[in-house]
């Protein structure tokens, strides 16, 4: 597939382009962890969603890219997504090539029998068939303080009191990436999402991300008398830490274990050399949205866009959608062993 626009060639990358793409992402100012080849490869290896990278080339140089996953699910249909399981994505590089890359994405979607294209960030396409939203989700990023006590004092008073209550319990904090860290994290995270009524992601996805990112990902776990009660898998990218997959068991709320987890992660990230804490995205006006505001984070609207073939309705994978209310209520009551067995079969299509 080749198109000419703004004296630019747009094509689907091949394996021979891997080194050039990695170098481009490494120097692109607007690249996120989800544009990195490590993320693209992890999703493909763990869940089977094929990765496709569209290149906009000016002469011999890459000017912009759009990484995509072809997501397939018998329950949720097919979609071309930038990027799978990510909260950010879209075109990076010279935004002048965004329209050409978006058009190429729709052409590729038709070829792959994907009726929907979803862009999570980047320049918003201004073309027929595309629909953009800036009011559905918000991101939360704040600077880290210079030392532990200053970090604690930077938290608003009411939330700071919750953190102090958790710290007074003298729970243990462990950071690592080995087999036991991964087992503790998955056990805690799986229980957390079951309690919320959503299926857990495949464990292979967490392993693939940890293996692919190396030192740029780790797990922080809070233990109460040697029992894991809260745990988070975080990504590190250009001076920012992003707590990406985290949660707590039922007892975590009374222990304030999640509050301790995020505070200790802030301190740990600063010790690693980070200067920003990226709390990730939350759906506007949701419980997570207000939780992050309680920590003093200011919401910033995120820009998402989607295209559908022949005016079809886009796929609905939002767990807060009213259509899933009954299923969520049932899922919350499932025994954990059953939820953990069935969850990955369902969630792999929620990319």
With a cut of 70, say whether residue 90 has pLDDT above it. Answer: yes
Neighbouring C-beta atoms of residue 271, cutoff 10 Å: 11
CB 97 within 8 A of CB 6: yes
Write the CB contacts of 178 (distance below 8 Å, at least 6 apart in sequence): none
Q: What is the mean pLDDT of the chain?
A: 92
- The CATH H-level (homologous superfamily) assignment of domain 3-134+303-315 is Gcn5-related N-acetyltransferase (GNAT) (3.40.630.30)
- Alpha-carbon span 122 to 114, nearest angstrom: 21
- Break the chain down into helix, strand, coil percent, rounded to 5: 40, 30, 30
| Residue 115: pLDDT over 70 | yes
- Residue 335, classed as helix, strand or coil, is coil
Q: 16 pLDDT exceeds 50?
A: yes
pLDDT bucket at 6, cuts 50 / 70 / 90: very low
pLDDT at 3: 46
Reported as type and span, the H/E element at residue 38 is helix 37-47
User: Would you state the pLDDT for residue 55?
Assistant: 97
304-308 and 116-120: which strand pairing? Answer: antiparallel
pLDDT band at 52 (very low <50, low <70, confident <90, very high): very high
Give the alpha-carbon dihedral of 317, 319, 320, 323, to 10 degrees: 70
Distance (Å, whole) CA 96 – CA 92 = 10
H or E, element range at 221? strand 217-224
Helix (H, G, I), strand (E, B), or coil: what is residue 220? strand
Is residue 232 within 8 Å of residue 265, measured between CB atoms? yes
Output the pLDDT for position 8.
Answer: 76
For the segment 318-338, the average pLDDT, to the nearest whole number, is 81
Question: For 36-63, what is the mean pLDDT?
Answer: 95
Strand partners, 131: 306
What local confidence, expressed as pLDDT, does residue 329 receive?
87
Lowest-pLDDT range, 126-135, 136-145, 196-205? 126-135
Which of helix, strand or coil describes residue 351? Answer: coil
> What does each C-alpha distance from 160 to 57, 148, 184, 289, 328 come to in angstroms?
50, 13, 27, 18, 32
What is the average pLDDT across 280-295? 91
Confidence check: pLDDT of 347 > 80:
yes
Domain 138-300 fold is Aminopeptidase (3.40.630)
118 or 320: which leads in pLDDT: 118
Q: Take residue 105 and report the two structure tokens written for it.
A: 């994405």
Task: Report CA dihedral (7, 11, 13, 16) to the nearest 10 degrees.
Answer: -70
Q: Is the pLDDT of residue 4 over 50?
A: no
User: Quick one: average pLDDT of 40-69?
Assistant: 96
Are both 3-134+303-315 and 138-300 of the same fold? yes
For residue 109, which of 96, 93, 125, 122 has the smallest C-alpha distance?
A: 125
pLDDT tens profile 173-182:
999 999 999 9
Q: What is the mean pLDDT of residues 85-96?
A: 94
Per residue in 137-160, pLDDT tens? 899 999 999 999 999 999 999 999
Which of 237-241, 242-246, 251-255, 312-316 has the weakest average pLDDT?
312-316
Q: Break the chain into its structural domains and give their ranges.
A: 3-134+303-315, 138-300
Helices 257-271, 157-167: crossing angle, 10 deg rounding: 90
Q: Are 51 and 67 in contact (CB under 8 A)?
A: yes
The position carrying tokens 């080339």 is 57
- What's the confidence (pLDDT) of residue 60? 85
208-224 confidence digits (pLDDT tens)? 999 999 999 999 999 99
Burial 49-69 (b: 16+ CB within 10 A, else e): bebbbbbbbbeeebbbbbbbb
């Amino acid at each position: 597939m080749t198109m000419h626009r703004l004296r630019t060639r747009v094509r689907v990358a091949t394996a021979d382009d891997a080194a050039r793409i990695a170098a481009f992402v490494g120097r692109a100012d607007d690249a996120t962890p989800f544009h990195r080849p490590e993320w693209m490869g992890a999703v493909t290896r763990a869940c089977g969603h094929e990765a496709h990278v569209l290149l906009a080339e000016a002469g011999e140089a890459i000017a912009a890219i759009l990484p995509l996953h072809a997501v397939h699910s018998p329950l949720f249909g097919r979609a071309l997504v930038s990027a799978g399981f990510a909260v950010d994505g879209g075109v990076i590089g010279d935004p002048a090539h965004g329209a050409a890359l978006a058009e190429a994405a729709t052409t590729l979607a038709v070829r792959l029998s994907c009726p929907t294209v979803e862009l999570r960030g980047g320049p918003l396409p201004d073309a027929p068939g595309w629909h953009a939203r800036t009011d559905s989700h918000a991101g939360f990023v704040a600077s880290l303080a210079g030392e532990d006590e200053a970090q604690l004092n930077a938290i608003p008073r009411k939330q700071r009191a919750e953190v102090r209550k958790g710290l007074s319990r003298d729970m243990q904090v462990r950071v690592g990436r080995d087999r036991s860290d991964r087992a503790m994290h998955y056990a805690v995270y799986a229980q957390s999402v079951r309690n919320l009524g959503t299926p857990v992601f495949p464990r292979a996805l967490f392993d693939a991300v940890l293996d692919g990112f190396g030192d740029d990902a780790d797990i922080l776990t809070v233990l109460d008398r040697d029992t894991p009660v809260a745990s988070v898998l975080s990504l590190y990218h250009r001076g920012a830490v992003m707590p990406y997959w985290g949660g707590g068991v039922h007892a975590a709320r009374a222990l304030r274990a999640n509050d301790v987890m995020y505070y200790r992660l802030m301190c740990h990230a600063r010790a690693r050399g980070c200067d920003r804490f990226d709390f990730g995205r939350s759906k506007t006006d949701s419980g997570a949205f207000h939780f992050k505001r309680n920590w003093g984070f200011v919401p910033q609207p995120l820009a998402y866009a989607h295209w559908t073939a022949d005016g079809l309705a886009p796929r609905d994978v939002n767990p807060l959608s009213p259509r899933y209310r009954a299923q969520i209520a049932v899922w919350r009551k499932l025994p954990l062993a059953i939820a953990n067995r069935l969850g990955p079969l369902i969630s792999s299509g929620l990319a």
